[in-house]
Structure 1
Amino acid sequence: MSRATKMQTSFNGGEFSPRMFGRVDQAVYEIGVAECENFVPVIQGPVVKRSGTIYVETPKAQCRLIPFVPFTTQGYVIEASAAAFRFYTNNSRIETAPGVAYQVTTPWTWAQLNVLDVQPSVDVLYLVHGQTSPRVLARTGAETFALSELVLKNGPFDDDNTDETLTVTADGTTGSITITSSGPLFVAGHVGGLMRLEAQDFAAITAWEPGYNGVIVGALRRSEAKVYYAATAGRSGTVQPIHTQGAEWDGVVVGKDINDKDAGGILWQYRHDKYGIVKITGYTSPTQVTAEVVRRLPDSLTSTASWRWALGAFSTANGWPSAVTIWNERLVLAKDATLYGSTVGGYDDFGERNSAGELTSDRAFRVPLPDPNPILWLAADQELLIGAANAEYKATRIQGEARPDIKRQSKYGSGQAKPCEAGSRMLFVQKAGRKVREIDYNYQRDRYQAPDLTVVAEHLGKRKILGLTYQQEPDSLVWAWRADGLLLSLTYSPEEQVKGWARHPLGGDTLVEWATCIPDPDGDRDQLWLATRRGGKRAIVRMAPLWEVGDSRNEAFFVDCGLSYQGPTAQMISGLGHLEGETVKILADGSPHPDRIVEGGAITLAESRASTVVHIGRGYSGRLKTLAIEAGGQDGTAQGKRKRIISVVLRMLETLGVSIGVQGLPSQPIEHRLSLDAMNRAVPLFTGDHEINTIGQHERFGQIEISSDQPLPACLLATIPVLETAPR
């Protein structure tokens, strides 16, 4: 038999798929594990037991969590349930009175909230769903909010009508009017949408000309597709009127002009241009609707029918936008396979021409995808990234033009989950929900590429991945949740080539229904918030900070849906109504306490264990299992040969309460209490190497299993097994 010592110094490759268990030829095999449950791989290499979750509140109903971060030091979590928003900040719910949640009424059902798209912009959130008109949530105070309809002006519109037999007239040019069509045109779903009506032509109106003598008050003139009426009489000047509001002179009024001629000039009052805009307010019949004028109509529309019209792009009949982002100082909306961009700096203005009727680069745009591919999400980068049902695209700004150029980048397709911006890259869930891909620019190919981040952990996508959220500080972690309620983490640092997955089943078989991240009120880290369910009980919780070197024992929070008591020495701990009837784990003054059942919303500690700092909640276990050890044999590889682990040295950092074993045998707890340690004090956290001898028997894989079942911290730095391998 041959002996070898094989040290694994890093676990940040994360949990591998069983399909990878034979790939000892791959460098990544050296840093992967077979199971990583409730341990978080960190960039430096170790795995750290994930912290517990702190109970915040019981939600009104099944809910989605929406982050709202106006400033880096001020973050809110919105509890979005059917027809209502509730708000959390500074680790607690905003209330109008003790126990009474501050609430804003909303128009969305739970099914709609699942795919509601959200885009923040300082103190407001833009919210869109394809079945309802867009909304804006504005922060009106530190603890007050207002939800209103997003009112768009000057568009956007669908294609212009080309059927010259289908005409419209209006019975007025301002205020409330009735619009009548020559044939079936309207449906009830057009109510709430816009309509643009254009004059057939201005041939009946005299064109403005300079130096015309004999202008009378009230005379109409057309100029640059605009109509003006004379507020004064006399001879016209030499300055052509082009203004779009108010009144302006077209020449000098007194004295001589530059040609030493007598003064001339007319005060021209802007009346209207060639088109006007209305908002449809009521449906009468397929040929008649009522409307409110939002941009004055040309006078001729009251007497001359016109086939020059266009319906608004957004309405109940035509559909509402279903995706939103902000890119290049534009609000960009998506409906079906078309993008609609606002004017630069004017998020509510979708006018495609300026006041002079010109198509300039700062005006709004409307552009379809190259393929009829429904747009599911938008993400702003240097280019605009577009996720559609069957492909990914980029929109690139064209110098001097408003309309961007759109090119397909890949053909993976997306689901409804909003992409997650992690550092300098975008991550998205592929359409089947089984893979997470990162979007990164490839300079050699001059296009974006989207490699699969789950390629070595494809088994984690067996149940559909529903969403992603990014926790930047203190460790770069992407969190995902699946349709079966399992929480996943991805330790993500592409600069360090670290991409390691882990599973995080919550204590008590608790399921995760949504997750999001916001800054901690202290500003030194990000918080992970979860909407959870256990049986018929729902809870909003936030994960305690990941254990860091030097943290106090009293900060060791390793229970789920838990609460803490800090105060004078106490034996009875109350306020646990959300855990009523459950068996809970307890850490009292830094030491595990026997389990208790919550009765009447309280527990009672042993008389000898009355404590000043107590953490109580559902228990959970951390579990790490290495891949089959490859240490070589007398004639090559150790794979497929009978082997025995003779001893293991486990290198730990500030760790307590772990057990170690090998596959198929009971694990052995690692005892850290020394004979000199006082029995009435908590055992100090252990840092260093701990060796366990003769723990294995002959078998063919040689895997080490490490578990942490107590509510205590654990940080595993390395495993150093001595392996005895038999010849084949």
Structure 2
Amino acid sequence: MSAVTVIQNNFNGGELSPLMGARTDQVRYGNGCKKLHNMMVLPHGPASRRPGFQFLGKCRDGGTRVRLVPFTFNADQAYVLEFGNKYMRVWKDGGLVTNLTGRPIEIGTPWTSDIVDSLSVCQSADVLFVASASCPPYKVCRTGHALWHLERVVLGSRMKPPTDLEVTKKGTASREYSYVVTAIDPFTREESEPSVAITLQGPETISVESSITLTWESEHNDAIYAVYKCWNESGKFGFVGQAKSRKWVDRGASPDFSEGFPIYRTMFQRADEYPSSVQFYQQRLCFAATNNQPQTIWMSQSGSYNNFNISDPLRDDDSVAATIAAERVNKIEWMVPGRQLIVGTAGSEWSLSGGENKAVTPSSIKFERQSVIGAAPLAPLVVGENILFLQQGGKVIRELQYSLQKDGYMGTELSILSEHLLKDNPVVSWAYQQEPYSVVWCVLSDGSLAAFTYEREHDVIGWHKHSSEGHFESVCCIHGDRGDELWCVVTRVVNGKNCRYVERLAPYGVNGIEEQFFVDSGVSYHGEKAETFSGLEHLEGESIQALADGFVIPPQVVSEGSITLSHAASVVHIGLPYTSELIPMEQEVILQSGSSRGRTRRVSRVSLHVHETAGLQVGVGSTAPQPVALREDAGLDLAPALFSGETVVEVNGGYEIQSNVVFRQSEPLPATLLSYSMQVEMGER
């Protein structure tokens, strides 16, 4: 027999598919895991137990589906919007936003619970535009911290056309003329639709002596006005002049028919004509994909988001309507702005631009197909310069990345080495948590969470699986004081009833044993020492774990919304238990006689290098995991300290074909594994 030492010094490979079980030649095999359950891969290499989820409150309706949508006004003002069955509520700083009377802010909406997941949203400052194929476009408007309202998107210019247009004339009437006037914003240059045309009989030749004077009324005090004139039977108007007052005199100006007034377009007025996707690009608001025109994109005038007017002839800043010309009619699922507007359809991915580094105009617009993968309806995530999107069906995640060699975008699959996590279990909601560890969180159709740590510049793509006593339904991220906050909706069965809770992932890496938060749907207490703790009605009848002043409390059942501890404590965290488990890949050992495959092996000891860890258990093969002594006994009156360093565990496993090492944490305490090594005795074949 021979003894060898096997070491794994990082876990960046994440949880790998069972189909990777023999791929020792693959780079990620050596730093991968068979199982990463409720453990996270950190970009630096360690695997760390995920924090618990903090209970923030109940959703308004516990029996219908709810979606969370981030709303970020600036770095200091980030909200989470709760969209449920025909209502919306607002959350901030871990609680509901309330009005002066203390009632939660709530507004009615036209969206039922069965379509909230399909809503397309995009934000500009304090306005959130919402598109759905089931109703006209709307916008959620914030005018103050507790002032929110919903209004339908009204298309057209914000400038109102002049009214009460009147004319006076000099000279003999022998020729027919028509005039219209528009109002122009002096700052944005947005132009109104034309006034009602006025027609008159004027002199054959207009001059200083034989002039026509126009006057009108307007509700805009600081507007300037454009005058258009028609003097032929074609009915075509041309620009003849501007006025800063509500009066203009025609002394013989010739119409410039290359400049016409804006023409209002009637859009999105009835069923099958409502757009299902919305986005911004080049200072234009873009709607796309009605039932009648699933491959068409409508773009507003530049800088005027509600204005979809055009002119005759067309101007460069007029609104744009463009349809993808493809072999098959594939509905546009989403749009993402960048150096180009990336468009995902059910059958392929396209880029929209003005061509040759030009801005998009009605006469300069270009579609180019980038790939023929096909996209799922779920809105993609933008991570740095890359776009992460779901392939049609929602079971494959791809990265759309610009390639200089191709001079276009390539769709690389990110989930292929961990395909078992999404197999027959598509993603239904996801969010990107940039800080502190760059993690993409995915809600799967079975209610579990799959996540992957994503640092493309360091070639880190490590998957991990998470679960809780309940079903996750929706996730979103907003910026918080300690990095990005992951918010989620969780459906839990409490006292035989389905309850929907809004919960938030606790901060990473808090200091001190007393502040460790590793329970789900948990609440915290900070104050004077106490033994009885209430406010647990959301966990009525459930068996809970608690950490009190750093001590692990034996499980208790919540009764009448409270529990009583055996001793008083001033810092207490109470919630549902969960277990974290890590099983590394079976490492191949190359012996002088060749590969160790097929030979029995026995693990006699395991050396662990951990960081700020307490309460870890280790097992090998079929032996049950046993607690790891991370410190010497400091006495019953002292809470266990977090341990950083190396320790050795004698495991004395038996001879087995596979000697999987199992690292487990079931107590409400942290565990971060930097590396491990094991002494293996090789048996005969």
Quick one: distance in 1 between partners of 2:611 and 2:376? 41
TM-score by length of 1: 0.80
Query: Could you list the per-position Cα deviations for residues 442-461 of structure 1 after superposition, in whole angstroms to 9, with x for gaps in the alignment?
Result: 11011101111101000111
More displaced stretch, 93-102 vs 692-701: 93-102
Quick one: distance in 2 between partners of 1:101 and 1:25? 57
Letter in 1 for 2:334: W
Quick one: distance in 1 between partners of 2:8 and 2:262? 73
Say which SS state the counterpart of residue 318 (structure 2) adopts. coil
Q: 1:457 aligns with which of 410, 418, 424?
A: 418
Q: 1:601 aligns with which of 561, 565, 580?
A: 561
Matched, 1:381 2:338: yes
Query: Could you list the per-position Cα deviations for residues 294-347 of structure 1 after superposition, in whole angstroms to 9, with x for gaps in the alignment?
Result: x6xxxxxxxxxxxxxxx7342224411111111111111112111111111111
Query: Could you list the per-position Cα deviations for residues 178-215 of structure 1 after superposition, in whole angstroms to 9, with x for gaps in the alignment?
Result: xxxxxxxxxxxxxxxxxx99x9x999999996659756
Say which SS state the counterpart of residue 95 (structure 1) adopts. coil
Taking the TM superposition and a 5 Å limit, the aligned residue runs for 1:18-167 are 18-61=18-61, 62-96=65-99, 100-153=103-156
Say which SS state the counterpart of residue 139 (structure 1) adopts. strand
Quick one: distance in 2 between partners of 1:37 and 1:547? 19
Q: 1:672, 1:683 within 8 Å by CA — same for their partners in 2? A: no
Taking the TM superposition and a 5 Å limit, the aligned residue runs for 1:168-567 are 211=207, 226-227=228-229, 241-243=240-242, 247-250=247-250, 265=251, 312-335=266-289, 336-353=294-311, 357-371=312-326, 372-398=329-355, 399=358, 402=361, 403-462=364-423, 463-506=425-468, 508=469, 510-520=470-480, 522=481, 524-535=482-493, 536-547=498-509, 551-567=511-527
How far the C-alpha of 1:97 sits from its partner, in A, is: 6.5
More displaced stretch, 612-621 vs 641-650: 641-650
Q: 1:578 aligns with which of 533, 538, 543?
A: 538
Quick one: distance in 2 between partners of 1:513 and 1:6? 41
How far the C-alpha of 1:647 sits from its partner, in A, is: 1.3
Q: Does the C-alpha gap of structure 1 residues 650 and 217 become closer, same or farther in structure 2, counting only changes over 3 Å?
A: closer
How far the C-alpha of 1:361 sits from its partner, in A, is: 2.8
Q: 2:389, 2:398 within 8 Å by CA — same for their partners in 1? A: yes
Query: Could you list the per-position Cα deviations for residues 487-517 of structure 1 after superposition, in whole angstroms to 9, with x for gaps in the alignment?
Result: 12110000000000101101x2x11000000
Partner of 2:658: 701
Q: 1:248, 1:267 within 8 Å by CA — same for their partners in 2? A: no
Q: 1:127, 1:135 within 8 Å by CA — same for their partners in 2? A: yes
How far the C-alpha of 1:726 sits from its partner, in A, is: 2.8
Quick one: distance in 1 between partners of 2:529 and 2:210? 99
Partner of 1:621: 579
Quick one: distance in 1 between partners of 2:573 and 2:531? 13
Quick one: distance in 1 between partners of 2:203 and 2:350? 47
How far the C-alpha of 1:687 sits from its partner, in A, is: 1.2
Quick one: distance in 2 between partners of 1:640 and 1:621? 32
Q: Does the C-alpha gap of structure 1 residues 244 and 409 become closer, same or farther in structure 2, counting only changes over 3 Å?
A: farther
Matched, 1:725 2:679: no
Q: 1:152, 1:350 within 8 Å by CA — same for their partners in 2? A: yes
Quick one: distance in 1 between partners of 2:658 and 2:477? 40
Quick one: distance in 1 between partners of 2:605 and 2:660? 12
Partner of 1:647: 605
Q: Does the C-alpha gap of structure 1 residues 130 and 702 become closer, same or farther in structure 2, counting only changes over 3 Å?
A: same
Query: Could you list the per-position Cα deviations for residues 235-256 of structure 1 after superposition, in whole angstroms to 9, with x for gaps in the alignment?
Result: xxxx972559954334xxxxxx
Q: Does the C-alpha gap of structure 1 residues 218 and 203 become closer, same or farther in structure 2, counting only changes over 3 Å?
A: closer
Quick one: distance in 2 between partners of 1:450 and 1:56? 38
Taking the TM superposition and a 5 Å limit, the aligned residue runs for 1:651-670 are 651-670=609-628
Q: 2:206, 2:252 within 8 Å by CA — same for their partners in 1? A: no
Q: Does the C-alpha gap of structure 1 residues 679 and 342 become closer, same or farther in structure 2, counting only changes over 3 Å?
A: same
Letter in 2 for 1:423: G
Quick one: distance in 1 between partners of 2:587 and 2:101? 57
Say which SS state the counterpart of residue 438 (structure 1) adopts. strand
Q: Does the C-alpha gap of structure 1 residues 721 and 657 become closer, same or farther in structure 2, counting only changes over 3 Å?
A: same
Q: 1:247, 1:269 within 8 Å by CA — same for their partners in 2? A: no
Letter in 2 for 1:370: A
Say which SS state the counterpart of residue 130 (structure 2) adopts. strand
Q: 1:228, 1:268 within 8 Å by CA — same for their partners in 2? A: no
Q: 1:131, 1:316 within 8 Å by CA — same for their partners in 2? A: no
Letter in 1 for 2:119: L
Letter in 2 for 1:538: R
More displaced stretch, 419-428 vs 554-563: 419-428
How far the C-alpha of 1:650 sits from its partner, in A, is: 1.1
Q: 1:635 aligns with which of 571, 593, 596?
A: 593
Q: 2:353, 2:360 within 8 Å by CA — same for their partners in 1? A: no
How far the C-alpha of 1:467 sits from its partner, in A, is: 2.1
Q: Does the C-alpha gap of structure 1 residues 631 and 18 become closer, same or farther in structure 2, counting only changes over 3 Å?
A: same
Say which SS state the counterpart of residue 457 (structure 1) adopts. helix
Answer with 1 or 2: which has the greater Rg.
1
Say which SS state the counterpart of residue 28 (structure 1) adopts. helix
Say which SS state the counterpart of residue 590 (structure 2) adopts. coil
How far the C-alpha of 1:700 sits from its partner, in A, is: 1.7
Quick one: distance in 2 between partners of 1:10 and 1:576? 39
Query: Could you list the per-position Cα deviations for residues 451-488 of structure 1 after superposition, in whole angstroms to 9, with x for gaps in the alignment?
Result: 11101000111211112211111111111101110112
Identical-residue share of aligned pairs (%): 31
Q: Does the C-alpha gap of structure 1 residues 380 and 269 become closer, same or farther in structure 2, counting only changes over 3 Å?
A: closer
Quick one: distance in 1 between partners of 2:318 and 2:21? 56
Letter in 2 for 1:359: L
Q: Does the C-alpha gap of structure 1 residues 214 and 658 become closer, same or farther in structure 2, counting only changes over 3 Å?
A: same
Q: Does the C-alpha gap of structure 1 residues 561 and 244 become closer, same or farther in structure 2, counting only changes over 3 Å?
A: farther
Say which SS state the counterpart of residue 615 (structure 1) adopts. strand
Quick one: distance in 1 between partners of 2:67 and 2:285? 24
Q: Does the C-alpha gap of structure 1 residues 530 and 227 become closer, same or farther in structure 2, counting only changes over 3 Å?
A: same
Q: Does the C-alpha gap of structure 1 residues 79 and 326 become closer, same or farther in structure 2, counting only changes over 3 Å?
A: same
TM-score by length of 2: 0.84
Q: How many residue pairs get matched?
A: 616
How far the C-alpha of 1:13 sits from its partner, in A, is: 1.2
Q: Does the C-alpha gap of structure 1 residues 107 and 695 become closer, same or farther in structure 2, counting only changes over 3 Å?
A: same
Q: Does the C-alpha gap of structure 1 residues 625 and 205 become closer, same or farther in structure 2, counting only changes over 3 Å?
A: farther
Quick one: distance in 2 between partners of 1:317 and 1:591? 61
Q: Does the C-alpha gap of structure 1 residues 685 and 274 become closer, same or farther in structure 2, counting only changes over 3 Å?
A: closer
Say which SS state the counterpart of residue 87 (structure 1) adopts. strand
How far the C-alpha of 1:25 sits from its partner, in A, is: 0.6
Quick one: distance in 2 between partners of 1:104 and 1:684? 48
Partner of 1:301: none
